[in-house]
Structure 1
Amino acid sequence: MAQSKKNHFINPTKSPFFYGYIILVIGAIGVYCSIPGQTIGVSVFTDPVKDALGLSRNQFSNAYMIGTIISSLVIGRAGVWFDRYGARYVAFFATLTLVTTLFLCSWSVQMSEFIKNTLNNHTWWIPFSLMTCLFFLLRFAGQGVLTMASRNMIMIWFDKNRGKVNMFSSVALSFGFSSSPIWINTLIDNNGWEITWRYFAIGLLIFSVLVFLFYKNKPEEHGLLPDGDSNRTNPKEENKVLAHKQFTLKEAMNTRSFWMYGLMLAFNSFFITGLTFHVVSIFASEGFPKSDAISIFLPGSVVAVTVSTVFNWLSNRLPLKLYLYLMLLGGILASIGFLFLTTPIGKPFLIVGFGIMGGFFAVLNALAWPRFFGRDHLGAITGKIMSFLILASALAPSIFSLCFSTFNSYSLVGYLGLAFLMFLVLGSLKANNPQ
């Protein structure tokens, strides 16, 4: 512990209030700073970047998909790094990687032309391969490592109040993420996509300094306890309260809860990503205008924020298994609304359903893993779960598109979704808290 304090410029024990609240703020900012690597942050750049590189929409989308899939295959290793080196160093190097990648993205046209001229080859494969590599780095560092390290750090600094602090961060991030396409699009319109990516890079470079100064790994490393509890000074007493059996990744993967909760969260990523990516086409295929398609997101966000706020607050009083089944109910409602979009229940079911799923996703993805499996191997466990989520989000646009191009309808996605959810309903009957 003494060594740990030497390596920190800011000593949490000198804070006039519990340092975990600084962790809450800086960790939430860290998740927000991952936007350049999230789908919602990348999608705004799609049209200007693909046109500048001479790529078709399918080629650009496939580069994004391949880069994301590769990211999902290696993100589990970042979880191991988190357990070994802690949030501070992992988030710091993830931020620097994201900074470097954003600068490279802003120079992607020049890099592509340089490679083409060097190889005397002007095929589309060159910008395609270049963007695949850049998308891998964006998704790995942004959506993957920085998000995981920041969220895990917050959860480690709290125990009894974990649900309440997750409530505040979830609400702030929901509004922050939902508004980001607006200001990103404004920056692109005013400055161009290359300068906008450089602005992001400079902002993240400044944030990396804050990461190095304020990110802390565990309260125990600084002589503190989660929640700022000053009454637990006896280590044996501390273990009784915090204690949980500390599951390794292998042990966690041998439990039914790991798979049922993980697959439900992955289904949410799959459905929401596919719906967002193809929403205009989905509604157009049923005879609705673009304005109707876009209009579903605001009320859906209101439902999601309401659900996450209420159930984060109640999380210490209610079993998470109830949350899982309510999230499954949301998925079923969304799938039914998806299938019967032209009926009076279609649009309301879809909005309420994906809103419920999104709200419980914010709760379960943060609270389930430390509560079920402890904190010692949280990085490895959440890294594996993150790989499920990234893979699901990577496959969704192509699977939705394949269903439509093959059957001239998106209905098959809805039926497959219902079948998968019914499997989870049955499989989750014994998905109890392993503790």
Structure 2
Amino acid sequence: MSAKSRFSLIDPAKSPVFYGYVILAVGTLGIYSSIPGQTIGVSVFTDPVKDALGLSRNQFSNAYMVGTICSSLVIGRAGVWFDRYGARYVAFFAAVVLAFALVLCSWSVQMSEIAKRILDSNSWTIPFTLMTVLFFILRFSGQGVLTMASRNVIMIWFDKNRGKVNAISSVAISFGFSSSPLWINALVEGYGWQSAWQFLAVGLLMVSFLILQFFKNRPEEHGLLPDGTPEGSGNNGRSVSLAKQFTLKEAEHTRAFWMYALMLAFNSFFITGLTFHVVSIFASEGFPKSDAIAIFLPVSVVAVSISLIFNYLSDYLQLKLYLYLMILGGIMASIGFLFLSLSAGVFLLVGGLGIMGGFFAVLNAVAWPRFYGRDHLGAITGKTMSFMVLGSALAPPIFSFFFSFFESYHLIGYLGLAVMLFLALASFKADNPQ
């Protein structure tokens, strides 16, 4: 059995439909399965776990921040693994490691008590250190590696139709992520947080088996080309355009790499900080908790609508237009932040967040293979993922710092406007390097 088919009974060349659509389905499932390692999946466990471990909210949040920052420093290495070993093995081991981490999380209280007895100490630093390590593994394997490998494998199997298939995947992921707190919370309330984590671990082991069976690294390994053109068929005028295959170092020497990566990182920063402190942000402007939470539904509607339309159009339009539209969304959100006490400010904030979220779903998937090719896609997306993870890690403490020292979140709006102005000016020459 060849290395490309080892441990798998599936032959893409014998598929009755183009196998890329199978990759689309299983790759989307892989991204969805990263939820236990995402902020939206961890947040449901915050209160019961911190109480069981005897940690304050700040201590628990800081453990999450430190673990996330540490994961951002090594995610780039996972991109190199992706290029060397392929999506199949990298995603498989990421799912297994994430499942193992969830089991360890479910035993965190017992491990903390054992460590306290061994060290003869009842210090809070013991559960804090333990959760920092566990959060590092969760964030690295879930938010980082599994997400990156699953998204990249979809993009590798398509070229001309990348935007269309990413539209399908993005919409499915948006609805899946937005509904996940409901069923995860039902697991926690029905079976307890420890059993809930163990159930999620079992589910991830099942997904890891599907990944090992159905993930295939590249269509060329199976006599196919992206979008479904058989090799040697003459391609019927649909041959994949020849393009320079950029290494990470070469990509870093282009302006487009930094402008797109910084815009995506700002989106992660802004969205994470707002989500983490949304009740406090709206309360500071006189809004009740119900109004604060209510903004996420319209934001999701705007984001999904933009993602669906502009993913499809991305096969025909220049992505630089998308970058500037995303910057426009950042400007709207920042202005909305400054005038949140007014109804117009809320509309600007919701619209701006939705625009940024919608274009994030397009650019984060489509831009990198179109600009830099597929040969070193793992290293390039791994680097950009590290920026996004770092931004999401720094956001909660920075938002909190501004509010603690200035008794207002308004400075975040000014910070956002400054960053957007810089990106708007610096992106004039951020053209496709192909």
Q: TM-score range by the shorter chain?
A: over 0.9
Structure 1: stretches of 5+ with no match in the other structure: none
Task: Give yes or no for the alignment of 1:297 onto 2:290.
Answer: no
Question: 1: CA distance between counterparts of 2:207 and 2:356?
Answer: 31
- Residue by residue over 1:63-84, the C-alpha shift from the partner in whole angstroms, topping out at 9 and shown as x without a partner, is 0000000000000000000000
Task: Give yes or no for the alignment of 1:348 onto 2:353.
Answer: no
The letter for the 2-side match of 1:352 is G
Equivalent pair of 2:252/2:258 in contact (CA under 8 Å): yes
Correspondence list, 1:27-38, <5 A: 27-38=27-38
Given the two structures, how large is their TM-score scaled by the length of structure 1? 0.98
Bigger mean CA deviation after superposition, 1-10 or 392-401: 1-10
Correspondence list, 1:398-417, <5 A: 398-417=397-416
Equivalent pair of 2:7/2:212 in contact (CA under 8 Å): no
Question: 2: CA distance between counterparts of 1:229 and 1:37?
Answer: 36
Given the two structures, how large is their TM-score scaled by the length of structure 2? 0.98
- Are the structure 2 counterparts of residues 272 and 6 from structure 1 closer, same or farther at C-alpha, using a change threshold of 3 Å? closer
Q: Compute the displacement of 1:317 (Å).
A: 1.5
Question: 1: CA distance between counterparts of 2:275 and 2:393?
Answer: 13
Correspondence list, 1:365-384, <5 A: 365-384=364-383
Equivalent pair of 1:105/1:197 in contact (CA under 8 Å): yes
- The SS at the match of 2:208 is helix
Bigger mean CA deviation after superposition, 5-14 or 275-284: 5-14
Aligned counterpart, 1:72:
72
Aligned counterpart, 1:192:
192
Question: 2: CA distance between counterparts of 1:413 and 1:265?
Answer: 17
Q: Compute the displacement of 1:186 (Å).
A: 1.1
Q: Compute the displacement of 1:234 (Å).
A: 6.0
Bigger mean CA deviation after superposition, 369-378 or 313-322: 313-322
Equivalent pair of 1:5/1:222 in contact (CA under 8 Å): no
Aligned counterpart, 1:148:
148
Correspondence list, 1:280-295, <5 A: 280-295=279-294
Q: Compute the displacement of 1:40 (Å).
A: 0.3
- The SS at the match of 2:18 is coil
Matched pairs, number: 433
Question: 2: CA distance between counterparts of 1:297 and 1:85?
Answer: 38
The letter for the 2-side match of 1:374 is G
Q: Compute the displacement of 1:329 (Å).
A: 0.3
The letter for the 1-side match of 2:95 is T
Question: 2: CA distance between counterparts of 1:396 and 1:289?
Answer: 23
Aligned counterpart, 1:331:
330
Q: Compute the displacement of 1:146 (Å).
A: 0.3
Question: 2: CA distance between counterparts of 1:419 and 1:176?
Answer: 33
Aligned counterpart, 1:222:
222
Correspondence list, 1:48-67, <5 A: 48-67=48-67
CA RMSD in angstroms, aligned pairs only:
1.4
Aligned counterpart, 1:212:
212
Question: 1: CA distance between counterparts of 2:267 and 2:386?
Answer: 14
- The SS at the match of 1:242 is coil
Question: 1: CA distance between counterparts of 2:128 and 2:89?
Answer: 32
Equivalent pair of 1:327/1:357 in contact (CA under 8 Å): yes
Q: Compute the displacement of 1:3 (Å).
A: 4.6
Q: Compute the displacement of 1:180 (Å).
A: 0.5
Aligned counterpart, 2:242:
243
Question: 2: CA distance between counterparts of 1:7 and 1:108?
Answer: 33
The letter for the 1-side match of 2:432 is N
Aligned counterpart, 2:135:
135
- The SS at the match of 2:240 is helix
Task: Give yes or no for the alignment of 1:312 onto 2:311.
Answer: yes
Q: Compute the displacement of 1:344 (Å).
A: 2.8
- The SS at the match of 2:86 is helix
Task: Give yes or no for the alignment of 1:425 onto 2:424.
Answer: yes
Equivalent pair of 2:4/2:216 in contact (CA under 8 Å): no
- Residue by residue over 1:5-56, the C-alpha shift from the partner in whole angstroms, topping out at 9 and shown as x without a partner, is 4664211001111110000000000000000000000011100000000000
Q: Compute the displacement of 1:346 (Å).
A: 0.6
Correspondence list, 1:262-273, <5 A: 262-273=261-272
Q: Compute the displacement of 1:279 (Å).
A: 0.2
Question: 2: CA distance between counterparts of 1:67 and 1:212?
Answer: 28
Identity of aligned residues (%): 71
The letter for the 2-side match of 1:349 is L
- Are the structure 2 counterparts of residues 100 and 205 from structure 1 closer, same or farther at C-alpha, using a change threshold of 3 Å? same
The letter for the 2-side match of 1:100 is F
Q: Compute the displacement of 1:316 (Å).
A: 1.5
Correspondence list, 1:58-207, <5 A: 58-207=58-207
The letter for the 2-side match of 1:113 is E
Question: 1: CA distance between counterparts of 2:234 and 2:228?
Answer: 15
Question: 2: CA distance between counterparts of 1:15 and 1:139?
Answer: 35
